[in-house]
């Protein structure tokens, strides 16, 4: 158990819909990362937050947004969903902003039908 | 933008032999490198790391080698065990960068 909790584990929705993925980092960790893993693809970096502030942005679509709340949990919002958004979404946390290993949750499997 | 590349999607080795997984990076600002291991239906778990001030780091059966001039790192597993069968991801980071991952290499260790 990494200590990082992601909910829900599975999500099935239709095109055009909006969903929210939730992540609770390890206790004390200030940094939260979101990654997308599509079929046979590596981990594509989406966005990183550190202590409530956006720190880095990767290949995150404009239809996607995220935030980190004062209690340090984070949410990833995906809107106007398309079939291609079907993927495994991972959240990871670390205590520092950089130079430290990440602890990953078990992921949210999103299926857009 | 593939700043971290793992060009071998899969690798198969015999139990007891050495497994060598390779990784290349393009961003010269990266100075901290990690390997993660991922089993099906689980998130990646940290395996071993190395900073750019070193060229080798060892932890039990796992050794990571870094060649900065070639922008190349490798993970050696000796001896390989069937339980090592998993997908291995290489990752890289700098002080101003998020952590970037390669596409992964699926290692199969045959008994």
- Beta strand residue intervals within chain A, DSSP E: 5-7, 10-13, 19-24, 31-37, 44-50, 53-57, 64-68, 74-78, 87-94, 103-104, 108-112
| pLDDT tens-digit map of A4-33 | 999 999 999 999 999 999 999 999 999 999
Q: Find the closest chain B residue to A45 by CA distance.
A: B100
Residues A60-66: contacts with CB under 8 Å, at least 24 apart: A60/A34, A66/A34
CA-based nearest distance A80→chain B, Å: 24
- Measure CB to CB from residue A42 to each of B1, B45, B102 and give the nearest one: B102
With beta carbons less than 8 A apart as the criterion, state whether A89 and A21 touch: yes
Q: Find the closest chain B residue to A103 by CA distance.
A: B45
Confidence (pLDDT) at A96: 80
Which stretches of chain A drop beneath a pLDDT of 50?
Answer: none
Within 8 A of B101 by CB-CB distance, chain A residues are 35, 42-45
Residues in chain B whose Cβ is within 8 Å of chain A = 1, 6, 9, 32, 34, 36, 41-46, 49, 51, 89, 93-104
Closest CA to A98 of B25, B12, B62, B92: B92
Confidence (pLDDT) at A95: 84
Question: In sequence order, what are the residues at sequence separation of 6 or more whose Cβ sits closer than 8 angstroms to the Cβ of residue A1?
Answer: none
Q: What DSSP line would sit under B55-80, residue for residue?
A: SEEEETTEEEEEETTTTEEEEEESS-
Confidence (pLDDT) at A2: 85
Is the pLDDT confidence value at B65 over 90? yes
Q: Find the closest chain B residue to A99 by CA distance.
A: B32
Q: How confident is the model at residue B41 (pLDDT cuts 50, 70, 90)?
A: confident
Does B49 sit within 8 Å of A101, measured CB to CB?
A: yes
Distance separating alpha carbons of residues B103 and B16, to the nearest angstrom: 26
Q: What is the DSSP letter of A97?
A: S
Distance separating alpha carbons of residues B36 and B63, to the nearest angstrom: 13
With beta carbons less than 8 A apart as the criterion, state whether B86 and B39 touch: yes
Distance separating alpha carbons of residues A37 and A59, to the nearest angstrom: 12
Residue A61 in tokens: 């679509």
CA distances from B11 to A34, A42, B22, B59, B77 (A): 28, 16, 10, 21, 12
Does B46 sit within 8 Å of A101, measured CB to CB?
A: yes
CA distances from B93 to A12, A52, B30, B40 (A): 33, 21, 5, 25
Distance separating alpha carbons of residues A102 and B9, to the nearest angstrom: 23
- Measure CB to CB from residue B101 to each of A4, A43, A101 and give the nearest one: A43
Confidence (pLDDT) at B97: 67
Distance separating alpha carbons of residues A109 and A71, to the nearest angstrom: 25
Q: How confident is the model at residue B2 (pLDDT cuts 50, 70, 90)?
A: confident
Confidence (pLDDT) at B1: 62
Distance separating alpha carbons of residues B47 and B58, to the nearest angstrom: 11
């Amino acid at each position: 158990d990494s200590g990082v909790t992601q909910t829900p584990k599975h999500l099935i929705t239709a095109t055009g819909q909006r969903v929210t993925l939730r992540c609770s980092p390890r206790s004390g960790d200030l940094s939260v990362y979101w990654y997308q893993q599509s079929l046979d693809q590596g981990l594509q970096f989406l966005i990183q937050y550190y202590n409530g502030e956006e720190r880095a942005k990767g290949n995150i679509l404009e239809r996607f947004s995220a935030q980190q709340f004062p209690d340090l949990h984070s949410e990833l919002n995906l809107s106007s969903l398309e079939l291609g958004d079907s993927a495994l979404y991972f959240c990871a946390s670390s205590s520092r902003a950089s130079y430290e290993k990440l602890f990953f949750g078990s992921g949210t499997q999103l299926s857009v039908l | 933008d593939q700043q971290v590349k793992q060009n071998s999607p899969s690798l198969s080795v015999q139990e007891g032999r050495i497994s060598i997984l390779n990784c290349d990076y393009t961003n010269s600002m990266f100075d901290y490198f990690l390997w993660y291991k991922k089993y099906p239906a689980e998130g990646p778990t940290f395996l071993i790391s190395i900073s750019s001030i070193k060229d080798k780091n060892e932890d039990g059966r796992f050794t990571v080698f870094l060649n900065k001039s070639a922008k190349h790192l490798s993970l050696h597993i000796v001896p390989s065990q069937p339980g090592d069968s998993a997908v291995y991801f290489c990752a890289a980071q700098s002080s101003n960068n998020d952590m970037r991952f390669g596409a992964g290499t699926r290692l199969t260790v045959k008994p």
